[in-house]
């Protein structure tokens, strides 16, 4: 029988989950509070790693519009930073379209191992709003989407009911409170309603 050989094994440390998450405007210094808005089309995301973890790490950030679930797919909203050593904050910049967004981050090591995901805001609410264009000043505009398309207060093209209107599924930027005039059946007075948009 062959003699036993003494061997030492070192257990690999688990990759730390990012902590101290922050979202900044493009300057990397202007903090955007949870649910806050920015006019910057580029955001900087930050997560901190443990200084006791010995290997270089990359930060991955996944952004999705509010209400859209995360996918975990690199080609579907995930961006990856370069490798950073020594613990402390790791940042990544990402271009973001106008809209309401939520995000999460994780660390990745050189061997392709991942940490757990960490969400900026665990409630599932909007983490930030990007609005690079100011709202319309036209008094006839009663709703304006963040992509710039509008719903005018005149000549909306429907009377009585408009079953094809799906306002609830659209994301609108806040503009003002407006009065909405709804045409009723022939011979009846139109009804007027306040609409906050």
Q: What is the pLDDT of residues 141-175, one digit of tens each?
A: 655 555 555 555 554 454 444 443 333 333 444 44
CA distance readout (Å), 110 to 107, 117, 149: 10, 17, 44
Rg (the chain; Cα; Å): 25
Quote the CA–CA distance of 85 and 55 in Å, as a whole number: 6
Same domain, 88 and 49: yes
Give the side-chain half-sphere CA count within 13 A for 149.
5
pLDDT of residue 9: 47
Same domain, 150 and 121: no
pLDDT of residue 185: 61
The lowest-confidence range among 30-44, 79-93, 121-135, 181-195 is 181-195
Domain that holds residue 188: 141-196
Single residue among 130, 151, 183 that ends a domain in this structure: 130
Is 164 among the domain residues? yes
Read off the CATH number of the domain in which 32 is found: 2.60.40
Quote the CA–CA distance of 188 and 107 in Å, as a whole number: 63
Residue 50: Cβ-neighbour burial (10 angstroms; 0-12, 13-18, 19+): middle
CA distance readout (Å), 120 to 107, 169, 175: 14, 24, 27
CA angle 79, 85, 87 (to 5 degrees): 95
Is 71 among the domain residues? yes
Same domain, 123 and 164: no
Q: How confident is the model at residue 40 (pLDDT cuts 50, 70, 90)?
A: very high
Expressed in angstroms, the distance from the first to the final Cα of the chain is 83
Is 191 among the domain residues? yes
Indicate the number of domains in the chain: 2
Single residue among 130, 159, 180 that ends a domain in this structure: 130
- pTM (whole model) above 0.75: no
Is 102 among the domain residues? yes
Residues 6+ apart with CB under 8 A from 29: none
Closest alpha carbon to 73 in 124, 22, 117: 117
Same domain, 68 and 104: yes
Same domain, 80 and 159: no
- Count Cβ atoms below 10 Å from residue 57 Cβ, excluding itself: 26
Is 149 among the domain residues? yes
Give the pLDDT mean for 34-50.
93
**In the predicted structure, residue 5 carries a pLDDT above the cut 70:** no
- Count Cβ atoms below 10 Å from residue 156 Cβ, excluding itself: 15
SS3 content of the chain, % helix, strand, coil (to 5): 0, 40, 60
Single residue among 130, 155, 187 that ends a domain in this structure: 130
Is 25 among the domain residues? yes
Q: How confident is the model at residue 102 (pLDDT cuts 50, 70, 90)?
A: very high
Same domain, 124 and 150: no
Same domain, 50 and 78: yes
Same domain, 31 and 123: yes
CA 127 to chain centre: 6
Is 136 among the domain residues? no
Same domain, 119 and 147: no
Same domain, 55 and 104: yes
Give the DSSP letter of residue 97: -
Is 5 among the domain residues? no
Same domain, 117 and 159: no
More confident residue, 172 or 78: 78
Same domain, 154 and 103: no
């Amino acid at each position: 029988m062959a003699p036993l050989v003494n061997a030492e094994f070192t257990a690999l440390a688990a990759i730390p989950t990012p902590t101290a998450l922050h979202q900044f405007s493009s300057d990397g210094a202007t903090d955007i509070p949870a649910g806050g808005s920015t006019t910057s089309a580029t955001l900087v995301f930050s997560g901190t790693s443990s200084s006791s973890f010995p290997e270089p790490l990359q930060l991955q950030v996944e952004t999705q519009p509010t209400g859209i679930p995360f996918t975990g797919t690199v080609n579907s909203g995930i961006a990856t930073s370069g490798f950073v050593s020594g613990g402390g904050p790791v940042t990544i910049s990402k271009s973001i379209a106008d809209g309401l967004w939520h995000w999460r981050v994780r660390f990745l090591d050189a061997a392709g191992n991942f940490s757990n995901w960490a969400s900026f805001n665990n409630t599932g609410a909007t983490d930030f709003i990007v609005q690079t264009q100011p709202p319309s000043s036209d008094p006839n505009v009663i709703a304006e989407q963040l992509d710039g398309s509008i719903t005018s207060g005149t000549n909306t093209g429907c009377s009585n009911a408009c079953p094809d209107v799906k306002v609830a599924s659209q994301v609108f930027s806040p503009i003002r409170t407006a009065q909405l005039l709804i045409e009723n059946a022939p011979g009846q007075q139109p009804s007027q309603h306040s609409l906050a948009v």
